[in-house]
Structure 1
Amino acid sequence: MLPLFFAERPDDVRPREALDAARAFLRGEMTIEAVREKAFASHAAAREAGDPGALAAARVCGQAAAVAHMAGHARQVPRYTAKAFPGDRSRRDEELAWQRMNVPDRFDRYVYDGD
């Protein structure tokens, strides 16, 4: 998803920092408050994006980082992924397949099928 964002805003690192923060949190290297700040910053980057794909990509990154403090945010990732590829169903399906391959099996139904 990051390439969609960087295509419009190559110098804005906030979505990448949000993902990096989530990984750092998993390793015990960052507090939840710090991760939340990075997630909020990624959403701010989304608000500044003009392209719908870039906006959705930044939202995906923000939601992915926000999962660290609230699992329910994971359910927004597929929604924003779909918004990032409104006219390219093949690319959307490819991205969703990649995501599903990288989500632990125990969370797959929660993220992609849960209500």
Structure 2
Amino acid sequence: MPRLRKMLNDLNASYIKLLMRQIETQSKTTLANWAIDYSERIILPLWLKYCPDDLRPKFALDSARLWLNGKIQFQQAKKKILRCHEAAREAESNHVAHIAARAIAQSASTIHAARHCIGLALYGALAVAYDELGTEAPWERLEIRAEQECEHMLAALCEISVVDEPNPANIDWYY
């Protein structure tokens, strides 16, 4: 059985670099909305496919959105996001669910720090690839599918990007 990777880890891959460059042009709010929206649409259904009775990742996304809309305090959202990380740990026996929950937690965590949004790509694109191709698929095929998903993510971000954003997030990728 091939070694299962938990995330894409090549920040120098061209498809990751393109995404990072676009991320750097946007505000934390735009990035949080993008990551939450994409996770709700694409990644959360993966989690629910394998763990339909566990709504902690959904609650993390919901609470991040409530915080963005000024409806709850940050600490309330943070508790739900930490519970999503907990769900990921508990789902380690199901690789797709595990990394999908990691992607969701990172997406929701973008409300705290903009750089967390890259977790959507690093975990989420791989979750999509493993779900579609299986955990036995060769890495080369998985990476091609993950790259395609990152291209979809970039397109989704470009759709909502603010041209000449006056307050782009200041992101240190290599902290």
Which stretch shifts more, 31-40 or 77-86? 77-86
Kindly tell me: are residues 100 and 15 of structure 1, through their superposed partners in 2, closer, same or farther at Cα, counting changes over 3 Å?
Answer: same
Which residue of 41, 65, 79 maps to 2:83?
Answer: 41
- Could you say which structure has the greater relative contact order, defined with CA pairs below 8 angstroms and 6 or more residues apart? 2
Query: CA-atom RMSD, angstroms?
Result: 2.6
- Taking structure 1 as reference, are residues 101 and 20 closer, same or farther at Cα in structure 2, changes over 3 Å only? farther
Q: Please say which structure displays the higher CA radius of gyration.
A: 2
Shift in Å, 1:102: 3.7
Q: TM-score, normalised by structure 2?
A: 0.55
Q: Which has the higher helix share?
A: 1
Displacement, 1:95? Answer: 4.1
Structure 1 runs of 4+ off > 4 angstroms? Answer: 87-91
Aligned to 2:101: 58
- Between the aligned partners of 2:150 and 2:72, the Cα distance in structure 1 is 28
Q: Which structure 2 residue ranges, 5 or more long, are not aligned?
A: 1-42, 131-136
> How far apart are the structure 2 equivalents of 1:5 and 1:79?
16
Residues 1:62 and 1:28: Cα distance change in structure 2 (over 3 Å):
same
CA shift for structure 1 position 20: 0.6
Contact 2:125 2:149 in 1 (8 A): no
Structure 1: gaps spanning 5 or more residues:
none
Please say if 1:96 is aligned against 2:139.
no
* 1:79-103 deviation line (CA, Å, top 9, x unaligned): 1013312445676455434433443
% of aligned pairs identical? 33
Letter paired with 1:81: G
Secondary structure in 2 matching 1:30:
coil
Question: Per the alignment, do residues 89 and 36 of structure 1 end up closer, same or farther by CA in structure 2, a change over 3 Å counting?
Answer: same
Q: Secondary structure at the match of 2:46?
A: helix
Aligned-partner residue type, residue 33 of structure 1? Q
